[in-house]
Amino acid sequence: MRKHYTASFKAQVVLELLKEEKSISEIASEYGVHPTMLHRWKNTAVDNMSCLFEDEGKNSAAALKREHEKETTQLYSKIGKLTTQLEWLKKSWHRVVAHAAWR
């Protein structure tokens, strides 16, 4: 049966590997992970590290854009609802006024 490790666990172990305060075999025995797996995790982290900094500005800009679009959609929906209610009230008011005039 294969063991599955969480991303946070892998990150914690890789950070310890990058500190280089302990050997890989010491870390492997401490966490109960095979040294080959530790090498793989470390290589993956190092290879993908540049992506963290490239997308830094894009992610926040994209998140702001999504939030803005969501808010805009909600506001247009509210405007449509209020416009419909206003038109209904105008028609109803004219009926009430016309009905009162006939009395």
- Is 61 a member of any domain? no
Average pLDDT of the segment spanning 56-70: 80
Q: What angle do CA 84, 87, 93 make, to 5 degrees?
A: 140
Is 63 inside any structural domain? no
Torsion angle (degrees, nearest 10) of CA 70, 72, 74, 76: -150
Report the distance separating Cα 73 and Cα 68, nearest Å. 9
- Give 41's contacts (C-beta < 8 A, 6+ positions apart): 10, 13, 14, 17
Backbone angles phi, psi at 76, to 5 degrees: -65, -35
Does residue 5 sit in the same domain as residue 49?
yes
- Full-model pTM: 0.52
pLDDT tens figures, 3-14 = 889 999 999 999
Question: Do 8 and 36 fall into the same domain?
Answer: yes
Domain that holds residue 95: 68-103
Given 54, 76, 95, the domain boundary residue is 54
In a domain? residue 43: yes
User: At 49, is the pLDDT very low, low, confident or very high (cuts 50, 70, 90)?
Assistant: confident
Count: domains in the chain? 2
